[in-house]
Structure 1
Amino acid sequence: MDSTVPGHTDSSGLGKGLKRRHMNLIALGGVIGAGLFVGSGVVIGGAGPGAIISFLIAGIITLLIMRMLAEMAVARPVVGSFYVYARQALGRRAGFATGWMYWYFFVIVVAVEAIAGGRILQLWLPMIPLWLLSLGLMLLLTATNMVSARSYGEFEYWFSSIKVVAIVLFLGMGALWITGLWPDSTPGLGNLVNHGGFTPLGWGAVLAAVVPCVAFYTGAEIVTIAAAESEEPKRAVAHAMRSIVVRIVTFYVGSILVVVTIQPWNTESVGVSPYAAVLEVLGIPGVATIMNFIVLTAVLSCLNSALYTTSRMLFALTRNGDAPKFFTTLSRNGVPRRAILLGTTVGYVSVACTYVWGDVVFGFLVNSYGAVALFVYLLIAISQVVLRRRLEREDPAALQLRMWLFPWLSYATIALMATVILAMAFLPTTRSQFLMSGLTLIVILISYEVRKLLGKGGRDDESLSGAPPIGSADESVAEAEKRIESVETLGGSDIELLAAAQQKPNPHRHQRRHS
């Protein structure tokens, strides 16, 4: 059984089914989730109209982080993206922690989004229990991801397209109302200051709201992971990262501006569902149904991306010896199906626990991953400073896309991220998330030490050539992977074959490390 498609796989064995249009929408759709459509109401309630500034500051921080990541991804596109960069820049322990934290983050996203999607469906199908609806969504999107990367890309393309169209229409209608061109509108910006001022709860509340806002932007980095399965990884990442984050900031900030301008910030309906509150003022019929459909689309999009991301990050972890080689096996279409199934298992278990214990599980999941992605972002920023200096010495020509005002803006970004994380520890509303996420990090670090004691640590990636770049020739590993992919199950001899291939000296790699 042939497990590779000529011209469509690299040395990793992953398929090459993602086109540039997929990459653009993956970057855009990964960020626009239910948090924007529903969760933003909590931020508005905590900061008033000043939430506009909160989202703007968070957007600028995210823009800087993504620029730093884009510099590394364009210079050295590798399977695993920032996980590999952390290994190369900060050592195996940091890489292990980065990869597994990110995997854990999106595994929990799978569970959270499945439960959230089930709740929305239950509004239309109240006779069906929540656990069964959530399970149905999990099975549907797991099957989609199991087919091919292109299948994932197509689903994400259309999910994201619906979200983008919805936001553009929302911004357009809001602009017509504010300028007085909408029928029976009350134009003007009075609501920004007429209900306690622009910052009714003080500037401290505005700055505190930056913390959850940064979390809302999480997901733009997925495009650098998907680059391993795109036809033009360098060009796709460069194009997506140059423009996508700016659009995302525009969507978030513009949407919040429309909400607090059309409706008073302290209106009860704004806190529950800000977009629905505005559509109701505009007189759009079937507001509840429209918003439920849009939010469901956002949830399915995030669930789809989370399933994809967990599998590819786990696959990258196996390539560096930071996860069992059992998950290295690929399908004929270059899909790491075993890695997908492991990621979905946590989701299935969470759905089952929800059936038994209800919202207790949901609350625990939300708290346990709240700050994990922020830890990863901080490591991305630190890695960029280290690798940028190394690239300037070893391969300056690779720096085709550069971080602005290096190194000072990089240092400022690191300081901003550290401030956001520390703020979580002191703010009453986020302290539990910080503590639970910190516990998650501690467990991962202990796991690394245990794995190291057992002699199962992965190879060291101290040079920029430590991990095979996308499209590079790592023939000994590739041959072993093809051997494994040709069978349905792994036997002991197959595992030994891959292990031997990993240990076999590669003259090309040796030459690169000593060049």
Structure 2
Amino acid sequence: MSTTTSHTPEHAPDTSTKTVRGLKPRQLTMMGLGGAIGAGLFLGSGKGVAVAGPAIMVSYIVAGALVILVMWMIGELSAANPTSGAFSAHAQNAFGPVAGYTVGWIYWVQLAVVTAAEANGAATILTGILKNTMGDVAVPPTWVLSLIFMALFTVINMFAVSKYGEFEFWFAFIKVAVIVAFLVVGLLMLIGVLPGHEGGLSNFTDFAPTGVAGVGAGLLIVIFAFGGTEIVAIAAGETADPQKSVATAIRTVAWRICLFYIGSVFIIVAVLKPSQADPAEGPFAAVLNVAGLPAAGNIMALIAVFALLSALNANIYAASRMMHSLAQRDYAPAAIKRTAQNSVPRRAVLLTVTFGFVASILEAVFPGKVLDTLLSIVGSTIIIIWISVAASQIALRHRRDRENPGVRSTTYRMPLFPFLSYLTVALLVLIVAVAMFDPAARTQLLLTLGATALIAVTGVFVTRRTTQPATVHAELDD
């Protein structure tokens, strides 16, 4: 069953249960970038450098290649069936209702937790900035700022999707502009134009100070930072001309993310020693401090706040659309199907952000415990989602080719099928295997698998009661 229509008025009747295709292709592209470029790059990249040294570049190249492969798979699936149910709907089409239910709900749980963490993280950083700049002036506590952020972005997600898309476009654009500026500054340092660095690539002499183990540990840090690109598949359900728009967005988002991540980390590795790469203010600020730029720490900390809030905004959107799709398939309460007059599933938005509000208050009572515990449970969810994407693409591509031999069944196809599809599966299995040798990653992965299994068990009972067809299709105009 569909979660969208192609072209309906922005002000639909109160009884509507459908969204509209109000996003523009450029907004879709920037939403993909906004969802993926967050604290994992601006703050977390330094942890990978500290663990593996310059060899972290290998981890980023492997992870970047995997992201491109997964994005190609998402592109084929979304071009064939552009629905806000995205990989949940594709899993249902490939493997049945329980698979669709499980993938949809584990993704929603992940984003609900991550949304709360992003609000808390942005509030924590902003509190530090205010204390550094305002001195003894009273600064609101972190949990209050977190509540303010949750309220602000709840309102923004109530806008019609065309207005929401424009806001997120410019919000994400700030991050992209900052990264481009950082790359320019870094290159000027490496060629000796800017002071503070002798130029050259002397840091690469000791390429792998911690050996293969460091590369593996770095890969586990890096792979989760790339999460968020999959929002393109969800937003495709509300984008005009989705088949063409998705193909363009997939190509653009994949190479830009790899350029931004790998390029930025190359600059960090070239300028900073591993022992310098993970300061409290983040590696970007550390590089700019070496360049002698004034107030670099506070500037980059503020950019990190923007990065977190942009990702927060994108994740509320993605989670609410996934919940709406689940309701459309009778896998969530029927009331969530309803959309407002501007065709926004506001009830799904409100249920999504409720967790963030509650978590902000609990964080005030139990600082550093609530979100850390929850994040340890859903931290490996992106692996589950990507495995479902790979398995669905392989199964559905074989099915389409078998049912329509010799016919090009979609406008966007995974290249070098099936070789690259199975290579994707092999890389994902490799990452899981590597995780099992790291105690912290192993615990996180096992907790995520346990949560996934629990949701799957509930799905067995819920899907037995549904009257929806096993296959989910988007409604598209001819």
Q: TM-score range by the shorter chain?
A: over 0.9
- Tell me how far apart the structure 1 counterparts of residues 248 and 148 of structure 2 sit (CA, whole Å): 36
Asked if 1:366 is matched to 2:371, the reply is: no
Q: Where in structure 2 are the equivalents of 1:193-204 lying within 5 Å?
A: 193=205, 197-204=206-213
Cα distance, 1:63–1:458 mapped onto 2, change above 3 Å: farther
Deviations 1:194-222 (A, max 9, x none): xxx10000022202321221111111110
Name the structure 1 match of 2:430: 419
Q: Which moved more, 1:328-337 or 1:145-154?
A: 145-154
Cα distance, 1:259–1:124 mapped onto 2, change above 3 Å: closer
CA shift, 1:97, in A, is 0.9
Asked if 1:436 is matched to 2:436, the reply is: no
- Tell me how far apart the structure 1 counterparts of residues 477 and 107 of structure 2 sit (CA, whole Å): 25
Name the structure 2 match of 1:30: 35
The aligned amino acid for 2:365 is V
- Tell me how far apart the structure 2 counterparts of residues 67 and 12 of structure 1 sit (CA, whole Å): 30
- Tell me how far apart the structure 1 counterparts of residues 442 and 196 of structure 2 sit (CA, whole Å): 45
- Tell me how far apart the structure 1 counterparts of residues 9 and 473 of structure 2 sit (CA, whole Å): 18
Name the structure 2 match of 1:513: none
Cα distance, 1:271–1:124 mapped onto 2, change above 3 Å: closer
- Tell me how far apart the structure 2 counterparts of residues 184 and 337 of structure 1 sit (CA, whole Å): 51
Q: Which moved more, 1:266-275 or 1:383-392?
A: 266-275
Name the structure 1 match of 2:55: 50
CA shift, 1:74, in A, is 1.0
Asked if 1:343 is matched to 2:348, the reply is: no
Cα pair 1:322 1:458 within 8 Å, conserved: no
Asked if 1:175 is matched to 2:187, the reply is: yes
- Tell me how far apart the structure 2 counterparts of residues 349 and 270 of structure 1 sit (CA, whole Å): 30
- Compare CA radii of gyration and give the structure with the larger one: 1
Asked if 1:74 is matched to 2:79, the reply is: yes
Cα distance, 1:335–1:365 mapped onto 2, change above 3 Å: same
Name the structure 1 match of 2:3: none
Name the structure 1 match of 2:255: 246
CA RMSD, aligned part only? 2.1
SS in structure 2 of the partner of residue 205 of structure 1: helix
Gaps of 5+ in 1: 474-515
- Tell me how far apart the structure 2 counterparts of residues 400 and 9 of structure 1 sit (CA, whole Å): 31
Cα distance, 1:120–1:233 mapped onto 2, change above 3 Å: same
- Tell me how far apart the structure 2 counterparts of residues 272 and 446 of structure 1 sit (CA, whole Å): 43
CA shift, 1:138, in A, is 0.2
SS in structure 2 of the partner of residue 429 of structure 1: helix
Deviations 1:264-288 (A, max 9, x none): 1222655761111100011111112
- Tell me how far apart the structure 2 counterparts of residues 339 and 279 of structure 1 sit (CA, whole Å): 41
Cα pair 2:18 2:338 within 8 Å, conserved: no
Gaps of 5+ in 2: 1-5, 132-138
Name the structure 2 match of 1:324: 333
**Aligned mate of 1:397, from 395, 408, 411:** 408
CA shift, 1:311, in A, is 0.6
Cα pair 2:70 2:386 within 8 Å, conserved: yes
CA shift, 1:371, in A, is 0.7
Name the structure 2 match of 1:311: 320
Aligned pair count reads 462
CA shift, 1:149, in A, is 1.3
TM-score (ref. length: structure 1): 0.86
Asked if 1:93 is matched to 2:98, the reply is: yes
- Tell me how far apart the structure 1 counterparts of residues 30 and 467 of structure 2 sit (CA, whole Å): 34
CA shift, 1:293, in A, is 1.3
Cα pair 2:55 2:215 within 8 Å, conserved: yes
Q: Which structure exhibits the higher relative contact order, with contacts defined as CA atoms closer than 8 Å and separated by 6 or more residues?
A: 2
TM-score (ref. length: structure 2): 0.92
Name the structure 1 match of 2:173: 161
- Tell me how far apart the structure 2 counterparts of residues 458 and 273 of structure 1 sit (CA, whole Å): 51
- Tell me how far apart the structure 2 counterparts of residues 346 and 115 of structure 1 sit (CA, whole Å): 12
